[in-house]
Amino acid sequence: MLTVASSNAAIRAFAPAALPSRATPRSAPETAGTVLAFARHATIFHAGDPATRLFEVLEGAVMLTQLLDDGRRQVVEIVLRGGLAGFAPADVYPSTCEALCGTRLRAWRKREVRLDAALQEDLMRRAERQICDLHGYALALGRMTARERVATLLLRFAAAGIVHAHDRSVSLEVPLTRGEMGDHLGLSLETVCRTLTALQRQGVIGIGKRHGEIVLRDTRRLRGLAGQ
């Protein structure tokens, strides 16, 4: 059964809400747990900026990118709702952070965090999850084929947006270009493209005409392709 209805919850999860289109956040004066809003493509921080704040994704998604001198780029992490961005072992951010779609973030000053044990415990739990996710990501980058990587990514977005988990078919709004997917999965954009097309031909997914619209037609098979 096909679900293309644009009112699908999975779509809403990443759909840009009514947000200012300027790149700068409309920020309240900075106090504990300030909530900020960013539009698609807005930069939250640049690699090399002084690392003063830690962010939690409340809605939407951000990507963390790192560059090599010759321009090779890796999207080293995609942070979805509930995840944290802004970690820095030294005094500057090592990656650049960019909103993938309309996104709301909660920001804490690093100093504040240190004073609040309960907050710290909560953040620690999130960091723990993120470390384990990064381990799974390393497995994907190091040992999975292009098809397995793409399937894994689609399932990750599905998991973040699913309401009716028993549905066989789920419609997603993946807020990444083919190039960004490639840069995240360690593949060329052409390979991502070909892989998605192949999955479509096999009836596993459907590729919508709207930007980023992908329908998971057979999540069971997709899960099989991803190695469960």
Here the contacts of 75-79 (C-beta below 8 Å, separation 24 or greater) are: 75/180, 75/183, 75/184, 77/130, 77/134, 77/137, 78/156, 78/176, 78/184, 79/130
- Residue 141 near residue 149 (C-beta atoms within 8 A): yes
CA distance 155 to 170: 10
Rounded to 5 degrees, what are φ and ψ at 102? -55, 125
- Residue type at 103? T
Tell me: does residue 147 bind DNA (CB under 7 A). yes
Residues in CB range of 37: below 8 A, 6 or more apart: 19, 20, 25, 26, 102, 103, 104, 105
Query: What is the footprint of its own copies within residues 167-196 (CB under 8 A)?
Result: 183-186
Out of 153, 162, 187, 204, the only residue in the binding site for DNA (CB under 7 A) is 187
CA distance 185 to 85: 19
Residue holding tokens 């899960």?
223
The interface partner of residue 207, options being DNA, its own copies, none and the CB cut-off 5 to 8 Å by kind, is DNA
**In the 8-state DSSP scheme, what is residue 203?**
T
Tell me: does residue 194 bind DNA (CB under 7 A). yes
Q: How far is the CB of 179 from its own copies (least distance, A)?
A: 13
| 147 vs 217 by CB, closer to DNA | 147
The interface partner of residue 131, options being its own copies, DNA, none and the CB cut-off 5 to 8 Å by kind, is its own copies
Out of 4, 138, 159, 163, the only residue in the binding site for its own copies (CB under 8 A) is 138
Out of 29, 31, 72, 220, the only residue in the binding site for its own copies (CB under 8 A) is 72
Tell me: does residue 105 bind its own copies (CB under 8 A). no
| 111 vs 209 by CB, closer to DNA | 209
Out of 207, 218, 221, 223, the only residue in the binding site for DNA (CB under 7 A) is 207
Tell me: does residue 217 bind DNA (CB under 7 A). no
Out of 119, 141, 146, 160, the only residue in the binding site for DNA (CB under 7 A) is 146
Out of 49, 87, 126, 179, the only residue in the binding site for DNA (CB under 7 A) is 179
